[in-house]
Amino acid sequence: MSSRSPYEYFGASVAGPRHRAEGRPNEDSWLGIRGAFGTLVVVSDGMGSKRDARRGAQMACRAVLDAVRAWHKAGSSSVDMLLVRIEPLWLALVAPATGRDCAATCLFALAHSRGQLHVAAIGDGFALRRTSRGVEWIVGERKGGFANETDALGYSALWTSRSFPIDGEAVVVLATDGVADDLLPERIEAFVQWLLDDFAGMAPAERWRTLQRELRNWPTPHHTDDKTLVVLAERRAMHA
Amino acid sequence: MSKLKEFTASSARPLPVLLLADVSGSMSTNGKIDTMNDAVEEMLESFGAEDNTRAEIHVSVITFGKEGAKVHHPLAPASEVRWSRMTAAGGTPMGAALDAATSMIEDRAQIPSRAYRPTIILVSDGQPTDEWQTPLKRLLDAERASKAARFAMGIGDDADTAMLAAFLATAEVRVYRAHEARQIKQFFRWVTMSVTQRSRSANPDSVIAVEPTNLDDFDF
């Protein structure tokens, strides 16, 4: 573990009731890691109708990590140069399956060791940044459209991304649509605060177990989706 | 108890179904309005009985006839709809009905963004008596209404099939032509099957494609 990044993360992912009932695995995936590049969190949701959705999601996390490492090593500061690396890497990782067979959403946040926070996404779910000024949606604020309309890796979709100077107070939350679609938009700020108040202070193993339990016991009636939730925050914000 | 309940929706994601029903005077002949009332009632019962689904089916009925376009039943869970039968009289103000449907779908207070793509069912036995091209363009161009799955049934030989096909605006689904009571009921059973299959499917936004001209092959 690198001591250079002041960022911490936690998260959890569970199979939804539909996959559990069908004896199928969780087709969401997530990753959190620290390194010379800083701290990275990724969430991905394998599209349910696709044959190799689970592998697509797992490889999405791996592709972002590989891309971040190569991009950081190359010394680039342009986030576009990072984003263009991801889908080709992912396609190589899922081969011989095709991108369409493995289509998966991909949302990530990178607290880069060179002082920038990058948040980027393809597909649904949400990525948001909370500061003392409130919540800022990077993706996932439902203004139009309907549930389950999504882009994904495998469709050459465009990334949505934002970059911010690292300021010590930001909290980033990423979630797949199983979480995002049932959260009340007007309660989102309180939801983020609840995550920090109730989970940030826990020991990692207890935190993971507790968050898994919360996701498994999701209260919205008839929910069926897999659910993944990840929090990334500067250490002071995490324990404020 | 978990605090998560404070931050999450307390109801299942809605799957809205809007029926635009022609209640013009000509629908009162040959028992058409009675057959449609019976068929809609049966559809509502089927929707209301659906349980353990991924989506909760919500239904609204917009009629167009003597009183113009009128919300006969506001959007509500199918299980809560108390059905009152429609009566037929007057002209066929279909353009006004299309505008009413567009307004309802674009209104996020009535159909939240967490809803699945709505279904619009248009049923008519005649030519529109108001200007319908602009309202139809508004519907097909609207951010949300344009994404709705659409079904259309023309009853009898006087139905404006070209207009109904323009409403469907896709080669994948054809206008269903009904000439007798049995076919009207069959159409609504087909719609019921399509919607309930969506509500149970992994992705309720995927529309179940069944060729309506082959409904006789299906055992409902």
Picking from B2, B9, B113, the nearest residue to A146 by CB comes out as: B113
CB < 8 Å & 24+ apart, contacts of B206-212: B206/A49, B207/B117, B207/B149, B209/B172, B209/B173, B211/B174, B212/B151, B212/B173, B212/B174, B212/B175, B212/B176, B212/B187
Q: Can you tell me the mean pLDDT for B194-206? A: 71
Domain of residue B74 covers 14-217
User: Which residues in chain A are closer than 8 Å to B8, comparing Cβ atoms?
Assistant: 182-184, 218-220
CATH of the domain at B42: 3.40.50.410
CA distances from B68 to A2, A218, B90 (A): 70, 45, 9
Q: Please answer yes or no on whether B5 and A144 come within 8 Å at the CB atom.
A: no
Residue spans of beta strands (DSSP E) within A67-112: 106-112
Q: Please answer yes or no on whether B2 and A219 come within 8 Å at the CB atom.
A: yes
The model's pTM: 0.79
Supply the ipTM of this predicted assembly: 0.88
Q: How many helices (H) and strands (E) does chain B have?
A: 5, 6
CATH of the domain at A128: 3.60.40.10
Q: Is A2 inside a domain boundary?
A: no
Structure tokens at A181: 């679609």
User: Which residues in chain A are closer than 8 Å to B201, comparing Cβ atoms?
Assistant: none
Q: Please answer yes or no on whether A214 and B8 come within 8 Å at the CB atom.
A: no
Q: Please answer yes or no on whether B202 and A48 come within 8 Å at the CB atom.
A: yes
CA distances from B93 to A132, B24, B62, B128 (A): 53, 8, 11, 6
Domain of residue A232 covers 7-18+26-238
Chain B residues with CB under 8 Å of a chain A CB are 2-13, 52-56, 112-118, 143-144, 147, 202-206
For residues B14 and B56, the answer to whether their CB atoms sit within 8 Å is yes
d(CA B189, CA B43): 7
Picking from B8, B113, B203, the nearest residue to A49 by CB comes out as: B203
User: Which residues in chain B are closer than 8 Å to A190, comparing Cβ atoms?
Assistant: 6-7
Q: Please answer yes or no on whether B113 and A145 come within 8 Å at the CB atom.
A: yes
For residues A174 and A108, the answer to whether their CB atoms sit within 8 Å is yes
Three-state secondary-structure class, residue B183: helix
d(CA A206, CA A215): 14
Give the H/E segment covering residue B66: none
Q: Please answer yes or no on whether B113 and A218 come within 8 Å at the CB atom.
A: no
Does the pLDDT value for residue A3 go beyond 60?
A: no
CA distances from A127 to A12, A210, A214, B134 (A): 15, 22, 20, 39
pLDDT for position A224: 84
Q: Can you tell me the mean pLDDT for A74-92? A: 94
Closest CA to A47 of B117, B113, B116, B206: B206
CA distances from A211 to A33, A214, B4, B8, B135 (A): 18, 5, 11, 15, 49
Structure tokens at B68: 């113009």
- What's the domain count of chain A? 1
pLDDT for position A142: 67
Determine the residue among A148, A150, A193, A210 to mutate to test chain B binding: the one whose Cβ has the most chain B Cβ atoms within 10 Å.
A148
Q: Is B5 inside a domain boundary?
A: no
For residues B119 and B142, the answer to whether their CB atoms sit within 8 Å is no
Among the ranges given (A67-71, B118-122, B168-172), the one the predictor scored with the smallest mean pLDDT: B168-172
Q: Is B1 inside a domain boundary?
A: no
Query: pLDDT tens, A169-216?
Result: 889 999 999 999 899 989 999 999 999 999 999 999 999 999 999 999
Residue type (1 letter), B201: S
Q: Please answer yes or no on whether A220 and B9 come within 8 Å at the CB atom.
A: yes
Chain A residues with CB under 8 Å of a chain B CB are 18, 48-49, 142-149, 181-184, 187-188, 190-191, 194, 198, 214, 217-224
Neighbours of A121 (CB within 10 A): 24
Higher pLDDT, residue A167 or A172: A172
CA distances from A62 to A51, A94, A169, B26, B40 (A): 19, 10, 28, 64, 51
d(CA A110, CA B188): 52
Q: Please answer yes or no on whether A18 and B202 come within 8 Å at the CB atom.
A: yes
User: Which residues in chain B are closer than 8 Å to A188, comparing Cβ atoms?
Assistant: 7
User: Which residues in chain B are closer than 8 Å to A191, comparing Cβ atoms?
Assistant: 7
Residue positions counted in chain B: 220
Determine the residue among A143, A146, A181 to mutate to test chain B binding: the one whose Cβ has the most chain B Cβ atoms within 10 Å.
A146
Q: Please answer yes or no on whether A148 and B55 come within 8 Å at the CB atom.
A: no
List the single residue in B with minimal CA-CA distance to A189. B7
Among the ranges given (A95-104, B66-75, B181-190), the one the predictor scored with the smallest mean pLDDT: B181-190
**Mean pLDDT of all residues belonging to chain A:** 91
The residue assigned the tokens 């506001």 is B74
CA distances from B97 to A85, A211, B18, B22, B132 (A): 50, 48, 11, 9, 9
Query: pLDDT tens, A22-33?
Result: 888 999 999 999
Q: Is B112 inside a domain boundary?
A: yes
d(CA A106, CA A174): 10
Does the pLDDT value for residue A1 go beyond 60?
A: no
